[in-house]
């Protein structure tokens, strides 16, 4: 439009006749010169008008259409346990707030927390609490203290193949299976014979060390002792369950939301002789299951603007319904960040 106005303004000035002839001779223009100049200008004007019209068609010059609000990007990274529910949140929130894009990636709780410490993401998903040294590092790097929100609960389930006759296991047996120096290496030591299996050597399926699930299991089951070498260390929660489902002699740990028909979740007890507890939603919510845990998100300081709106939506009935649909336990009504 500005270009068209410039042309119109130039045309108005050029249409004045009787001025000096080109070349600066100072004599009045002849009628022929004036006519020729006007014809040339008219041709230029028609050409410019065509160009402007074409530009307006291409870029919507003078259009009354509203291009809509600018897009806002919220970057989320971290827990593989939470990646499915986080992606489901992001997809559903796009319908609620079309101007907000939520980008979700996994890699493990430690990866998300490290990115938050550097200030390169908006939200870190974690299946474990931030460590004091991680909180201090974030404060040193960014000048902000991480803010924690509980967005759901999970049971860290112990998975075996569906054909494995074992139904329950103790903390001590798990420790002897997974920790350095542990003595249990064969299913026969647990009194188990797996149908169709000649060699009962146990295949241990674990997680990579950056995983919050790995850290949680090490703290609560192994009492911070090191893992035994030789396990199959998977990048994601889903991969753990898939490998156990495809391997009759395997045992692994993962979030209960990843259960499939190919696996079985064992009942768990802290000590032999005590009642073993099943990893159900009810037992997770009342914390009767020994490996119940919180699902957490962290921000740098109090979340602002669109990030705050997104977290409020996650904690709303709509967001918590997705938690339950993903196989986890929603927070109690009125739960707030702490």
256: domain CATH number is: 3.40.190.10
* Same domain, yes or no: 177 and 86: no
Q: For residue 206, with 0-12 CB atoms within 10 Å meaning exposed, 13-18 middle and 19 or more buried, which class applies?
A: buried
Distance in angstroms (rounded) separating the CA atoms of residues 32 and 30 = 5
**Does residue 320 lie in a domain region?**
yes
pTM across the whole model: 0.71
Q: How many domains does the chain have?
A: 2
* Same domain, yes or no: 182 and 267: yes
Q: Considering only CA atoms, which of 80, 75, 173 is closest in space to residue 128?
A: 80
Query: Of residues 5 and 233, which shows the higher confidence score?
Result: 233
* Same domain, yes or no: 159 and 271: yes
Which helix or strand (DSSP H or E) is residue 107 part of?
A: strand 100-107
- 17 pLDDT band (50/70/90 cuts)? very low
Distance in angstroms (rounded) separating the CA atoms of residues 308 and 313 = 9
- 1 pLDDT band (50/70/90 cuts)? very low
Which helix or strand (DSSP H or E) is residue 86 part of?
A: helix 83-96
Residue ranges of alpha helices (H) inside the chain are: 2-14, 31-59, 83-96, 109-118, 132-142, 171-178, 212-220, 237-246, 281-285, 305-314, 317-325
**Does residue 332 lie in a domain region?**
no
* Same domain, yes or no: 262 and 299: no
Count CB neighbours of 260 within 10 A: 12
**Does residue 208 lie in a domain region?**
yes
- 252 pLDDT band (50/70/90 cuts)? very high
**Does residue 44 lie in a domain region?**
no
**Does residue 175 lie in a domain region?**
yes
Print the domain residue range for 132. 72-153+294-325
Q: Considering only CA atoms, which of 72, 71, 137, 68 is closest in space to residue 303?
A: 72
* Same domain, yes or no: 259 and 301: no
> Residue 231's pLDDT is what?
95
pLDDT digits (tens, 9 = 90+) for 32-54: 443 444 444 344 434 444 443 43
> Residue 5's pLDDT is what?
34
Q: What is the mean pLDDT of the chain?
A: 82
Token pair of 53 as six digits: 């019209």
**Does residue 159 lie in a domain region?**
yes
* Same domain, yes or no: 270 and 174: yes
> Residue 327's pLDDT is what?
87
* Same domain, yes or no: 254 and 230: yes
Tokens 């970057």 — which residue?
Answer: 75
Q: Strands, DSSP E only, in 193-335?
A: 203-207, 232-234, 250-255, 263-265, 267-269, 292-300
Query: Of residues 22 and 166, which shows the higher confidence score?
Result: 166
* Same domain, yes or no: 281 and 176: yes
With beta carbons less than 8 A apart as the criterion, state whether 161 and 264 touch. yes
- Alpha carbon 327 to its chain centroid, in Å, reads 17
> Residue 10's pLDDT is what?
35
For residue 99, give the 3-state DSSP assignment.
Answer: coil
Distance in angstroms (rounded) separating the CA atoms of residues 239 and 208 = 12
C-alpha dihedral (224, 284, 313, 326), degrees to nearest 10? 90
- 83 pLDDT band (50/70/90 cuts)? very high
């Amino acid at each position: 439009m500005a270009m068209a106005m410039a042309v119109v303004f130039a045309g108005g000035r050029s249409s004045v006749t009787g001025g000096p002839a080109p070349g600066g001779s100072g004599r009045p223009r002849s009628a022929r010169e004036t006519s020729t100049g006007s014809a040339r200008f008219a041709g230029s004007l028609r050409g410019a008008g065509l160009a402007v019209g074409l530009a307006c068609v291409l870029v919507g010059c003078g259009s009354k259409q509203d291009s809509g609000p600018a897009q806002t990007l919220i970057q989320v990274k971290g827990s593989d346990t939470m990646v499915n529910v986080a992606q489901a949140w992001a997809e559903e929130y796009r319908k609620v707030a079309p101007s907000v894009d939520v980008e979700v990636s996994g890699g493990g709780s430690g990866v998300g927390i490290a990115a938050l410490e550097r200030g390169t993401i908006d939200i870190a998903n974690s299946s474990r609490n931030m460590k004091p040294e991680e909180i201090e590092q974030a404060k040193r790097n960014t000048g902000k203290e991480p803010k924690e929100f509980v967005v759901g609960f999970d049971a860290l389930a112990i998975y075996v193949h569906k054909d494995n006759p074992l139904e329950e296991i103790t903390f001590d047996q798990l420790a002897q299976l997974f920790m350095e120096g542990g003595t249990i290496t064969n299913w026969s030591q647990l009194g188990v014979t797996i149908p169709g299996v000649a060699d009962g050597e146990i295949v241990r399926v674990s997680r990579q060390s950056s995983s919050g699930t790995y850290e949680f299991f090490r703290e609560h089951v192994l009492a911070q002792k090191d893992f035994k070498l030789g396990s199959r260390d998977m990048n994601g929660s889903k991969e753990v369950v898939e490998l156990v489902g495809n391997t009759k002699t395997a045992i692994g740990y993962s979030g209960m939301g990843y259960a499939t028909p190919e696996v079985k979740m064992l009942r768990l007890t802290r000590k032999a002789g005590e009642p073993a507890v099943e990893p159900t939603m009810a037992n997770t919510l009342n914390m009767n299951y020994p490996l119940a845990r919180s699902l957490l998100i962290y921000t740098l300081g109090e979340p602002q603007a669109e990030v705050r709106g997104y977290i409020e939506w996650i904690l709303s009935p709509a967001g918590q319904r997705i938690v339950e649909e993903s196989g986890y336990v929603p927070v109690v009504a009125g739960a707030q960040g702490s």
